[in-house]
Amino acid sequence: MLKITSLVKRYGAGDPVLKDLDLEVPGEEVVSVIGSSGAGKSTLLRCINRLVEPTSGKIFLNGTDFTSLGKRELRVGRRRIGMVFQSFNLVDRLTVMENVQSGRLGYISTWAALSRRYPKEDIRRAYELMERVGIAHYANKRADELSGGERQRVGVIRALMQQPEILLADEPTASLDPKTSEQIMTLLRDLARELKLPVIINIHNVNEAKEFSDRIVGMRYGRIIFDDLPDALTKDAMHEIYAGVPHEDRQMEGAAA
């Protein structure tokens, strides 16, 4: 379980980007975080894995206080948090297998990584996961030869190779066409069930959030102002989350952000 209490993130002397935020996410649950640009969605995800340092507050993952970890402990702790990025973050000149194996860098020696001598068990696991998402036949292809949807599948498998206890996805469908976006969201939802893995998705597309999530968290100005089932996301709730943002702009955000 992820438990966040009184989380604050401030840059410089300005207003906090996150304001005294509380959130709990149990296992197997897909939680979509929605809100207009600048609401604090990406900052929230980056605070969880401490790509951004929280100003104050606590972040617990299965009982471990991630905000108290030192540098060495944090390097080990980050193996427990998988991250899927909007821009895929693949190394184009490397093969799919090599990109997937980068998810194991926290577990193998530097020599093994540089020489690409991956443990047999890691190779077997990689093929299993790639087969699960339909990209095993691309194992030896360079990443820059793949489509956007295929590249994002590689990103998902790379994160799962960490054997994470939670999966964070920062706008994972923003660079994809509508059909491929639905496929990726379906994949994330199904993997959460199969692996008993909590998944938090920062997403602009409200329709996708409602269709593929167990729960929706709505943010505005660094605060959570909605936290409920997708069916509870009424027009009034949408207005509160997106007050001042025209409806058509919300849909454009979902297609392009």
Give the C-alpha separation, 66 to 48, whole Å: 8
pLDDT band at 40 (very low <50, low <70, confident <90, very high): very high
- Give the Å distances, CA to CA, from 64 to 17, 53, 73, 199: 24, 16, 11, 18
pLDDT tens-digit readout, 49-61: 999 999 999 999 9
Residue 251 confidence (pLDDT): 47
Place of tokens 């602009």: 204
For every residue of 147-181, which 3-state class applies, written as one string?
CHHHHHHHHHHHHHCCCCCEEEEECCCCCCCHHHH
The Cα 176–Cα 10 span in angstroms is: 32
pLDDT at 114 over 80: no
* Sequence spans of domains, the chain: 2-256
CATH class, range 2-256: alpha beta
Confidence at residue 245, expressed as pLDDT on a 0 to 100 scale: 55
CA atoms within 13 A on the CB side of 134: 8
Q: pTM score, two decimals?
A: 0.89
Q: Tell me what pLDDT residue 13 has.
A: 83
User: Which strands, in side-by-side order, build the sheet including 18-25?
Assistant: 18-25, 2-9, 56-61, 64-65
Q: What is the pLDDT of residues 158-172, one digit of tens each?
A: 999 999 999 999 999
Q: What is the pLDDT of residues 73-99, one digit of tens each?
A: 998 899 999 999 988 899 999 999 999
Average pLDDT for residues 11-16, to the nearest whole number? 87
Q: What pLDDT score does 12 carry?
A: 86
Strand partners, 73: none
Mean per-residue pLDDT for 16-22?
Answer: 96
The CA–CA distances, whole Å, from 220 to 172, 203, 239 equal 21, 14, 11
Judged on CB neighbours under 10 Å (0-12, 13-18, 19+), 118 is: middle
For residue 116, is pLDDT > 90?
no
- pLDDT at residue 249 is higher than 70: no
Report whether 156 contacts 133 (CB < 8 A): yes
**pLDDT tens readout for residues 204-222:** 999 999 999 999 999 999 9
pLDDT band with cut points at 50, 70 and 90 for residue 228: very high
Predicted pLDDT of residue 256: 33
Question: What integer pLDDT is reported at residue 244 of this predicted model?
Answer: 59
Does 185 score more than 90 pLDDT? yes
